Amino acid sequence: MPELPEVETTRRGLIPTLEGRKIVKVIKRRDKIRIAIPSDFEKRIEGMRVKSLKRRAKYIQIFLDSGDVIICHLGMSGKFVIKVIDNEPYEKHDHVIFETDGGELVIYNDPRRFGLMTICREDELEQHRLFKNMAVEPLGNEFNGDYLYEKIKTRKSAIKTMLLDQKIVVGLGNIYVCEALNMAKISPIRKACDVTLGETESLVPIIRNVLSRAIEAGGSSLKDFAGTDGELGYFQHLFVSYGCEGEKCSNKECGGTIDRINQGGRSTFYCPQCQK
DNA sequence: ATGATGTCCTGGGCGC
DNA sequence: TGCGCCCAGGACATCA
């Protein structure tokens, strides 16, 4: 569920606690989440200072002054919880804990364990297997109507499936793809090669817009979060199609009803009336 | 290369 | 009340 906006919100929420801080202790409560956490993970982090936090696709990258980068992915149920140090027992799915010299704990909690936590050298980051084949950022300048059209014009898969492909564009997941296609009035089951240049040119700004507005909403949720015992990773956000089966399509003068179908084992929500 | 399908994992919701 | 079943889905593996 955490897609680009949730990951970006999480990154921003972690900055006040981590940036400029020294990580004094790392506790690994299991050896693997989705993949193994390196055996030297704790040793490489303890005593190091956090230079900055960046995001690439749905990954958070924590840059250390040692030249290492911690790489985190929230999977679908991962979140960070910030707590002051106390003697409370850890929660059931607290997998990795970072203690800072500011007296705070940054806890990675992930019930379904689809997330990922690893570390690599900063100068090897771009060539890391997780990042080297990754497509452009949806909010970056390279992502435009021409680019998307060129990427999909020969592809026979459904446009929805293509937008979920991180080699086409990164950061999108099931929710925001449904939202963007509904607003663009493009059917999720259309073959990607049948989508016209004109349509990709209108779709791209819609994708940017839906992501930007979600990041903004996440920013608002961070204000409420500050100083509380809250969790980073999710925030309340209203969707116009996702999860809205049976409800009226929100496109002006449409009058259709949101339907739910299955594509590749995933739910798709769309309006058969206006999404053609 | 592409596309279709299976896999990982747990909690929550449902039917009986 | 409790049991079994199915679903949620990001990214990757594996197959044709």
Domains of chain A, CATH where assigned: 4-124 (3.20.190.10), 145-237 (1.10.8.50)
A7 CA from C4 C1′ (Å): 35
- CA–CA distance, A145 with A48 (Å, rounded to integer): 43
Q: Which amino acid is at A231?
A: E
Per-residue pLDDT of chain A (276 residues; tens, 9 = 90+): 789 999 999 999 999 999 999 999 999 999 999 899 999 999 999 999 999 999 999 999 999 999 999 999 999 889 899 988 888 888 889 999 999 999 999 999 999 899 999 999 999 999 999 999 999 999 999 999 999 999 999 999 999 999 999 999 999 999 999 999 999 999 999 999 999 999 999 999 999 999 999 998 887 777 655 444 456 756 666 788 988 888 999 999 999 999 999 998 899 999 999 999
Q: Are A28 and A37 in contact (CB under 8 A)?
A: yes
Strand C bases near protein CB (under 7 Å) are 7-12
User: What is the nearest nucleotide to A113, using C1' and CA?
Assistant: B9
**Strand C: residues with CB below 7 A:** A 1-3, 34, 57-59, 73, 75-77, 112, 114, 129-130, 164, 166, 173-175, 242, 262, 265-267
Residue owning tokens 């690893």: A118
Q: Are A51 and A15 in contact (CB under 8 A)?
A: no
To 10 degrees, what angle do helices A145-152 and A197-225 make?
110
Contacting residues for A233 by C-beta, under 8 A, at least 6 apart: A2, A6, A9, A10, A74, A78, A79, A80
Q: Residue ranges of the alpha helices (H) in A64-144? A: none
